[in-house]
Amino acid sequence: MGKLTIGCFSSLVGSMTLDFAVKLCAAAIDKGHKVDFWVSGNGTMLSIKDQRAFKDYSALEKPLKELMAKGLNVTACEACAEARGYHKDNTMEGFKRHSMDWYLASAFDADRVLHIGGE
Amino acid sequence: MGKLTIGCFSSLVGSMTLDFAVKLCAAAIDKGHKVDFWVSGNGTMLSIKDQRAFKDYSALEKPLKELMAKGLNVTACEACAEARGYHKDNTMEGFKRHSMDWYLASAFDADRVLHIGGE
Amino acid sequence: MATTKLGFIVQRPPYKSENPKLALTHAIASQSVEVYLKEGDLVTADIAFIGDGVLNCIKNQKAMDIYKLTSTETHIKMALLLDLNILVCKEDLARFGLTENDIVIDAEEFGAEMKTKVVPFSEITKMMEEVNHLLFF
Amino acid sequence: MATTKLGFIVQRPPYKSENPKLALTHAIASQSVEVYLKEGDLVTADIAFIGDGVLNCIKNQKAMDIYKLTSTETHIKMALLLDLNILVCKEDLARFGLTENDIVIDAEEFGAEMKTKVVPFSEITKMMEEVNHLLFF
Amino acid sequence: MRLAVFVSDYKITVDTLDRLKAEKLGIILVGNGVYHTTIKENGNPSPLLKKSANFYVLSEDLETRGISSSNISGNIKVITYSELVDLIFNDYEKLAWL
Amino acid sequence: MRLAVFVSDYKITVDTLDRLKAEKLGIILVGNGVYHTTIKENGNPSPLLKKSANFYVLSEDLETRGISSSNISGNIKVITYSELVDLIFNDYEKLAWL
């Protein structure tokens, strides 16, 4: 079994890219792999708690919590979050916040890195 | 003097598009025009209070508050905000939240509508 | 008693951004705008799909089954149910090799009477000239 | 004692999205990663600007004066100060009619010893082959 | 109609601009759209500039990207945010951000 | 290197793909990248499909957009998320999302 590090970056909220990343995390964990998931830029929106699950909008809080229970390691870029007004007290339980070096450290011993940086 | 309605939609946070829209609001208000400013989709991020003003990130809370004091009417799409976990209690003071019909009603008697809907 | 006409032009494919969906949900909001207006005043919303935007109209989208997200197809059907005028560019469908069989034309299952209109781009140009304001997505 | 090499490839122009800036700030974070690693372990970050990404390197950007935002130019200078290896594609500069005079080459005012390297794309291909993981922005 | 089109990207992914018809057409280059004014690919000016239209470019967005207003050719009018407001209210009746 | 490139857009604004060199190149179509599999402009298949590469398309993203897997030509392998995980770990060593 391997380790997959996924990074999901800016300009991606409201696209299906975060949905893709969460489904890929799930598929990898189901196969017994270890998964680190880093969100930065606009992707940090994923970390906010109490997102209303409308059917018109991607609602990822529930699947994320299930994945965290199965061992998903998920971290938001602290500066990117603070700059958007996402503070510790409105962060989803279990969602970590660190500076950018966390992502690079995760890549250090990853077997594969999928960096979703573009549009 | 006229009325300008500006709408700023999704995929735009972290681009310079919100910065552009805020500067255009300021220029129009300085010339004595009435300005309504609607944010929807990812643009609703603009409504969050206590965004940390790092120099590495667009920091628009201060200029927005100055414009509100000069009469800028600024409203976020309530559903788009709730879906992202932006609730009434973390909304900037003076920033309104309404359903989408507010934007259309603002367009009703606008002399010009600048709808920034694309990328 | 006045009417302001808005033209919503969707030029991008669905899902990659929220724009096409927000175009439809905002256009649908024209049905509830009177709460802000004086008696008799109206805002109308016409919607046109052009360029890659016609890909929004492909039918049998399974976004709800797979991603638990309302599909653009369903939003188009809701707009038809609410009697919005929906135009789809004929030349762009042809360019992609798509026919009326491939796209959402009606929402009979919801009881909608309105149908999507496949029209030449010149009709969409006419609409753009007739409306008061344009909103490109 | 192990080293993991990361290759950051910036293919898009600045400001329209945060990507190019985030590429630089994340690459700079390689300087503080050891807090998470065992003694002697390293993560290195090479940065290459290719395609429209070379527009990030144009000098005299006034983002701070006008939008109160750190310019991509300043981020590049910070990366040079921290001794990161920065490559700029020679063919892409030439395609845009840009020369070394038009782009950020050094950050002497900050005391940086490192300089931007204008190299043929083949050198960037070599970098991509040598690193362990690729990060495209 | 008198239509002002805002172009904010260097790479344009929609073909709408080529199909818009207007008695008076303005093209306002903002954001990364300002690269169209001076960046020449393989020596050629941006195809966008070949259109029959009145061209404007936002000076603040030029400077942000390190492009000097003095390098802009005479058929493109360099405007400030303040002048943009007048353009919107006085010269055009409909606006399109592509 | 064995490189898998993810394409998630229909209109691609970067020219990187044409310049990447790899001993084994995989192109994985996800998101709006799946339109490249069946949408023909003026009768022509997407130029992307002319590249010398192994092609894969994510079935979930096809279905989301109303495209039936049965319409996909034989040289493009239709894969699920689960199969994508195996592809990532077993067939390619570096990944690129353009």
Find the CATH number of the domain harbouring A23.
Answer: 3.40.1260.10
pLDDT band at A119 (very low <50, low <70, confident <90, very high): low
Asked if A92 contacts A74 with a C-beta cutoff of 8 angstroms, the reply is no
Q: Which chains have at least 3 CB atom pairs separated by less than 8 Å from chain D? A: A, B, E, F
Q: Which chains have at least 3 CB atom pairs separated by less than 8 Å from chain B? A: A, C, D, E
Please state which of the four CATH numbers 3.40.50.720, 2.60.120.10, 3.40.1260.10, 3.40.50.1360 is assigned to the domain occupying F2-97. Answer: 3.40.1260.10
Share above pLDDT 90 across residues of chain E, in percent, rounded to a whole number: 97
Question: Would an 8 Å CB–CB cutoff place B35 in contact with chain E?
Answer: no
Closest residue, chain D, to E63 (C-alpha): D62
Q: Tell me how many domains chain D contains.
A: 1
pLDDT score for B109 = 98
Paired strand residues for F32 = none
Digit-coded pLDDT (tens) for D40-64: 999 999 999 999 999 999 999 999 9
Q: Is E58 exposed, middle or buried, given 0-12, 13-18 or 19+ CB atoms closer than 10 A?
A: buried
* Contact between chains at E64 and D95 (C-beta distance less than 8 A): no
pLDDT band at F95 (very low <50, low <70, confident <90, very high): very high
User: Å from D96 to nearest chain E CA?
Assistant: 5
Closest residue, chain E, to F12 (C-alpha): E13
Asked if B46 contacts B19 with a C-beta cutoff of 8 angstroms, the reply is no
Residue B119 has pLDDT above 70, yes or no: no
- Determine the structural domain holding residue A77 and report its residue range: 3-50+57-117
Of D13, D53, D17, D47, which Cα lies nearest the Cα of D135? D47
- Indicate the helix (H) or strand (E) that contains D7: strand D3-10
Residue F38 has pLDDT above 80, yes or no: yes
Q: Which residues of E touch C4 (CB under 8 A)?
A: none
User: Å from B90 to nearest chain A CA?
Assistant: 9
* Contact between chains at C61 and F42 (C-beta distance less than 8 A): no
* Contacts within 8 Å (CB) and 24+ apart, E40-43: E40/D96, E40/D97, E41/D95, E41/D96, E42/D95, E43/D97
What's chain F's average pLDDT?
96
pLDDT score for B12 = 76
Residues listed for chain C: 137
What value does the mean pLDDT take over residues A39-48? 95
Spatial separation of the C-alpha atoms in residues B15 and B10, rounded to whole Å = 11
User: Å from F96 to nearest chain A CA?
Assistant: 7
**Mutation for A interface: B52, B55, B90, most A CBs within 10 A:** B52
Residue F13 has pLDDT above 80, yes or no: yes
Q: Domain ranges for chain E, please list them.
A: 2-97
* Contact between chains at E89 and B2 (C-beta distance less than 8 A): yes
Residues in E whose CB is inside 8 Å of some CB of B read 6, 8-9, 13-14, 30-31, 60-61, 64, 80-82, 84-86, 88-89, 93, 95, 97-98
C vs D contact (3+ beta-carbon pairs below 8 A): no
What's chain C's average pLDDT?
97
Spatial separation of the C-alpha atoms in residues B24 and B116, rounded to whole Å = 12
* Contact between chains at F10 and C13 (C-beta distance less than 8 A): yes
Report residue B36: phi and psi, to 5°.
Answer: -105, 135
* Contact between chains at D12 and F15 (C-beta distance less than 8 A): no
User: Å from A89 to nearest chain D CA?
Assistant: 25
Spatial separation of the C-alpha atoms in residues D114 and C36, rounded to whole Å = 61
Residue A97 has pLDDT above 80, yes or no: yes
Q: DSSP assignment of C87-129, as one string?
A: EEEHHHHHHTT--GGGB--B-GGGT---B-EEE-HHHHHHHHH
pLDDT band at B15 (very low <50, low <70, confident <90, very high): confident
* Contact between chains at E82 and B27 (C-beta distance less than 8 A): yes
Share above pLDDT 90 across residues of chain F, in percent, rounded to a whole number: 97
Q: Tell me how many domains chain A contains.
A: 1
Residue E76 has pLDDT above 80, yes or no: yes
pLDDT score for C1 = 87
pLDDT score for A14 = 81
What value does the mean pLDDT take over residues F23-29? 98
Spatial separation of the C-alpha atoms in residues B60 and B38, rounded to whole Å = 15
Which C residues 53-82 touch B at CB under 8 Å? none
Least CB–CB distance from A118: residue in F84, F95, F98: F98
The DSSP secondary-structure symbol of F88 reads: I
Residue D85 has pLDDT above 90, yes or no: yes
Digit-coded pLDDT (tens) for B43-91: 999 999 999 999 999 999 999 999 999 999 999 999 999 999 999 999 9
Question: Would an 8 Å CB–CB cutoff place C134 in contact with chain B?
Answer: yes
What's chain D's average pLDDT?
97
pLDDT score for B13 = 80
- Determine the structural domain holding residue C110 and report its residue range: 3-136
What value does the mean pLDDT take over residues D80-94? 98
pLDDT score for D90 = 98
- Residue D98 backbone class (left: φ over 0; alpha: ψ -120 to 50; beta: rest): beta
Of A47, A53, E45, which Cα lies nearest the Cα of B79? A53
Pairing relationship of beta strands E2-7 and E94-97 according to DSSP bridges: parallel
Of D74, D78, D56, which Cα lies nearest the Cα of D64? D74
Digit-coded pLDDT (tens) for C42-78: 999 999 999 999 999 999 999 999 999 999 999 999 9
| C6 Cβ contact partners less than 8 Å away, ≥ 6 residues apart | B104, B107, B113, C27, C30, C43, C44, C45, C46, C131, C132, C133, C134, C135
Question: Would an 8 Å CB–CB cutoff place A16 in contact with chain F?
Answer: yes
What value does the mean pLDDT take over residues E56-82? 96
Of B47, B42, B53, which Cα lies nearest the Cα of B14? B42
Least CB–CB distance from C66: residue in F10, F11, F64: F64
Least CB–CB distance from C36: residue in B105, B110, B119: B105
Least CB–CB distance from D96: residue in E9, E40, E64: E40
What value does the mean pLDDT take over residues C91-111? 96
User: Å from E34 to nearest chain C CA?
Assistant: 20
User: Å from D111 to nearest chain A CA?
Assistant: 24
* Contact between chains at C33 and B105 (C-beta distance less than 8 A): yes
pLDDT band at A93 (very low <50, low <70, confident <90, very high): very high
Share above pLDDT 90 across residues of chain C, in percent, rounded to a whole number: 99
Spatial separation of the C-alpha atoms in residues B36 and B95, rounded to whole Å = 12
* Contact between chains at E9 and B113 (C-beta distance less than 8 A): no
Instruction: Retrieve residue E49's tokens.
Output: 């500039």
* Contact between chains at A112 and F86 (C-beta distance less than 8 A): no
Q: Which residues of D touch A36 (CB under 8 A)?
A: none
